[in-house]
Amino acid sequence: MIVPVILSGGSGTRLWPLSRQLYPKQLLPLVGKDTMLQATLRRLEGLDGVADPIIVCNEEHRFLVAEQLRQIDVDPAAILLEPAGRNTAPAVALAAAAALQDREQGDDPILLVLPADHVIRNAEAFRAALQVGARLAAEDKLVTFGVVPDRPETGYGYIRAAARNGAAAVEQFVEKPDPALAEKYVASGDYFWNSGMFMFRAGRYIEELRNHRPEIVTQCVAAIAAAKNDLDFTRVDRDAFEACPSDSIDYAVMEKTEYAWVVPLDAGWSDVGSWASLHDACDADPAGNVTVGDVLMEDTQRCYLYAESRLVAAVGLADCVVVETKDAVLVAPRDRVQEVKQLVERLKKDGRYETSLHREVFRPWGSYDSVDNGDRFQVKRITVNPGAQLSLQMHHHRAEHWIVVSGTAKVTCGEQTFLLGENQSTYIPMGTTHRLENPGKMPLHLIEVQSGSYLGEDDIVRFEDTYGRG
């Protein structure tokens, strides 16, 4: 049995302003209609002997992850919540301990470890490589997948194999090279890009990890043993996991074990680590341009142009990236997009919200978009999913007006509960306990006008909450 382990904990700062701390790239539809997380799971369809996946994600992303799984009818074996980032070796150790805990005595399932933010254009070739990897993992090998390079790339680590053709033992992992060394690696035919994807038995991984980094095993096994279920999620023990060292699978295990094997992968792989690599992963027009949204071009070549909320017009551009969101615009040459990370660091230093949140903020019940604000007022467009409800809450510093645009709202205001339909409205006085629900089968859309001396999101006192928020 193969248990997919999907690692969905990254922040993807190099794809700012689209990818942000609370809405990272793996949860975005960057290539096609599915998000990258959804595409990662769909890629496994048609593979024999695959069990329900284990998802490892950041606690802050839990509701988005659960909703995206629901949208594609995936029922995970577990959604493990990391209380802190500790890199890939501990994340997979959590999944391995959970898989062994849930299996019958003596059963040692094969884990297929996949980052949730990769693009693979040839799913059939990918599945064929997985079948080779599964056979090796069943023989107690620790398998990684080496991408067949099509250019001298300095942004990836490399793997040197003992043989050029087919699966082979790993001879060496090497760090990201300079351009001259990258050209030498590719010309030799002995090297692959390090994809960060793995296959091995859960017990073998724990065994090898215990041999080389025993403290990681100790803390992760303890974190799973003391884990608690919370709605659809598994909260691992915070104290045990935060005491775990941070390390990658490569450094902790694969570079030290004698049982590392590499399976060649030639399937149109990309880790989408920058706007330039996203451009390369998408289908371009005859002029080499990739466009998303409402884009108008004149005399423009080899550009990536993204419009989220308005028209983006480009004249005379070449080899550029332009990304427009509701609250930020990025313009950069394609060969300098790696420097976006420095921009994000400056925004963080300045305390700007644009590093973590979009203007449209997603909640477990739906979303809200702050469409206008000023001194003592704010206007939001609110969407409540069918059957969902906000917490029973109160505000000390603001009053609210609600106007239903479409759908049906069930409103609790003090001691009263009533329904509102399209074009109907109500007023929530300051200090009054209230709740908004959608009892219908269609999304509820309404406009909220807030007024008061303080309009921050921390002016919420929750009395009851379906989603367990304090």
Residue 46 pLDDT > 90, yes or no?
Answer: no
Give the amino acid at 41. L
Q: How many CB atoms lie within 10 A of CB 413?
A: 18
For the residues 449-467, what does the mean pLDDT come to?
94
Residues 397 and 331 in one domain: no
CATH number at residue 383: 2.60.120.10
Q: Are 173 and 159 in contact (CB under 8 A)?
A: yes
What is the number of residues in the chain? 470
Q: Where does 103-201 have alpha helices with state H?
A: 123-138, 179-188
Residues 454 and 368 in one domain: yes
Predicted confidence at residue 470, as pLDDT, reads 65
**Helix 88-102 and helix 214-225: axis angle, to 10°?**
50
Residue 311 lies in a domain: yes
pLDDT digits (tens, 9 = 90+) for 66-93: 999 999 999 999 999 999 999 999 999 9
Residues 424 and 455 in one domain: yes
Q: Which helix (H) or strand (E) holds 269?
A: strand 269-270
For the residues 270-298, what does the mean pLDDT come to?
96
Residue 351 lies in a domain: no
Predicted confidence at residue 231, as pLDDT, reads 86
Predicted confidence at residue 104, as pLDDT, reads 60
Give, rounded to a whole angstrom, the gap between the first and last alpha carbons of the chain: 39
Contacts of 208 (CB under 8 A, 6+ apart): 142, 253, 256, 257, 259
pLDDT level of residue 386 (50, 70, 90 thresholds): very high
For the residues 187-193, what does the mean pLDDT come to?
93
Predicted confidence at residue 341, as pLDDT, reads 93
Predicted confidence at residue 319, as pLDDT, reads 98
Residue 382 lies in a domain: yes
Q: How far is 299 from 297, CA to CA, in rounded Å?
A: 7
Residues 75 and 172 in one domain: yes
Residue 111 lies in a domain: yes
Residue 354 lies in a domain: no
Predicted confidence at residue 340, as pLDDT, reads 96
pTM reported for the whole predicted model: 0.90
Which of 230, 246, 270 is the C-terminal boundary of a domain? 270
Per the structure, the count of domains in the chain is 3
Residues 389 and 341 in one domain: no
Question: Among all chains, which residue has been given the structure tokens 């073998």?
Answer: 204
Residues 88 and 189 in one domain: yes
Where does residue 278 rank: exposed (0-12), middle (13-18), buried (19+ CB within 10 A)?
buried
Residues 336 and 218 in one domain: no
Q: Look at residue 225 and give its three-state secondary structure.
A: helix
Predicted confidence at residue 7, as pLDDT, reads 98
Q: How far is 261 from 263, CA to CA, in rounded Å?
A: 7
Residue 62 pLDDT > 90, yes or no?
Answer: yes
Residue 278 lies in a domain: no
Q: Are 81 and 233 in contact (CB under 8 A)?
A: yes
Residues 338 and 392 in one domain: no
pLDDT digits (tens, 9 = 90+) for 433-445: 999 999 999 999 9
Residues 129 and 246 in one domain: yes
Residues 364 and 340 in one domain: no
For the residues 196-210, what does the mean pLDDT come to?
97
Q: How far is 211 from 253, CA to CA, in rounded Å?
A: 9
Q: How far is 273 from 292, CA to CA, in rounded Å?
A: 18
Predicted confidence at residue 134, as pLDDT, reads 97
Residues 117 and 247 in one domain: yes
Q: How far is 180 from 194, CA to CA, in rounded Å?
A: 18
Q: Quote the domain boundaries for residue 56.
A: 2-270
Compute the mean pLDDT over every residue in the chain, rounded to the nearest whole number: 95
**For 3-17, 27-41, 384-398, 432-446, which range has the lowest pLDDT when averaged over its residues?**
3-17
pLDDT level of residue 357 (50, 70, 90 thresholds): confident
Residue 277 lies in a domain: no
From residue 76, give the alpha-carbon distance in Å to each of 54, 83, 460.
6, 19, 32
Residue 212 lies in a domain: yes
Q: Token digits for 434? A: 């209230």
pLDDT digits (tens, 9 = 90+) for 88-137: 999 999 999 999 987 765 689 999 999 999 999 999 999 999 999 999 99
Residues 319 and 199 in one domain: no
Which of 236, 270, 304 is the C-terminal boundary of a domain? 270
**Helix 202-212 and helix 88-102: axis angle, to 10°?**
130
Predicted confidence at residue 105, as pLDDT, reads 55
Q: Where does 269-383 have alpha helices with state H?
A: 275-281, 340-349
CATH number at residue 86: 3.90.550.10
Which of 244, 270, 296 is the C-terminal boundary of a domain? 270
